[in-house]
Amino acid sequence: NSGANTLRAPLRFGVLGAATISENAIVRPCFKSPHEAVIKALAARDRVRAQQYVERYKLKECEVFDGYQSMLDKADIDAVYIPSPNGLHYEWTMKALRAGLHVLCEKPFASNSEEARAMVDLARQRGLVLMEAAHWFYHPLRERLQAIVAGGRLGALRHVYANFTFPGKPGEPREAKRGPSAIRYDGRLAGGCMMDAGWYALHCVRALLGGEAPEVEWAEAQRWPHDPEIDEGMRAGLAFRKAGASATILCSYCSGAPDGFAPRTAPGTSSPSGQARGGPKHPLGPMRWDAEVTGAKAVMHAVNFGVPHA
């Protein structure tokens, strides 16, 4: 409603960090809908990098701050977007909430359930919005899949399988990981494939099976040889007691390797070690996101179920 838009000031965002992901997550959306949101502040540990970021995206109204805390203390903003490495989400979400700011935090929301509960509790206490920045929650294909399930065309659901994989090279040392990929292999920053790609597979099966928290019946990790605390792949079997169904999830940074966790081959896809036809590109290689939903009456396949639609 254009009339309503003229009566409401745009939400003023501050961005904590000059991360690459923020271009698609918040910069472009703000350019597309300036009456809804605008970037007013950017903080980075390196001021030069922050200034280069502002100039690259022509953020004319954006003030640059030398550090995260400085922005929280001084910027004239309503909310913050946090695209930092996973292990920093909790610390800076809590600090932003204590500063009275709404928070849009990248996925995964936190490093563990204890952190997530504390974040949610504080947001509720302060009457602030705390939201996980994940387009999958609003993806039109997710809505379509849920509508098909709810419509009963598949019958009672028995099993849901979902994967998110990259063909990658297994066992590469951390020195070979450059740019955004490096943080995925840092245990101090809650790295690993399950925290990154596995998020999508897990939320896919939960969305289709009623949203309940499942019980983990079994799990197998493909460990990164340079740090046994980091997984390059994960597969797990889950039980959804309320739904009366089970699920299997799989994620991998090296599904194309002989010993990698390879996804199933579904109709409309290439070989298990390859990508789905038309699959999106990524620094780790072509992504593959597939889901298979088995019901009493029929089986439904979804290819590239989480690719951003716009």
| Residues annotated catalytic, as ranges | 107
Contacts of 80 (CB under 8 A, 6+ apart): 13, 14, 15, 16, 71, 72, 92, 96, 101, 102, 103, 104
Cα distances from 271 to residues 163, 274, 292, 305, in angstroms, run 14, 5, 16, 18
Longest Cα pair distance anywhere in the chain, in angstroms? Answer: 59
Spatial CA neighbour of 88 closest among 179, 230, 190, 196 = 190
Residue 5 near residue 34 (C-beta atoms within 8 A): no
Please state the separation of Cα 125 from the chain's center in Å.
26
CA atoms within 13 A on the CB side of 84: 26
Residue 93 near residue 102 (C-beta atoms within 8 A): no
Phi–psi pair at 82, nearest 5 degrees: -115, 100
Report the relative pairing of strands 130-133 and 102-106 from DSSP bridges: parallel
Q: Helix or strand or coil: residue 226?
A: coil
Contacts of 26 (CB under 8 A, 6+ apart): 13, 15, 37, 39, 81, 83, 104, 133
* DSSP letters spanning 160-204: EEEEEE----TT--GGG--GGGGGGG-GGGT-SHHHHTHHHHHHH
Rounded to whole angstroms, how far apart are CA atoms 40 and 13?
6
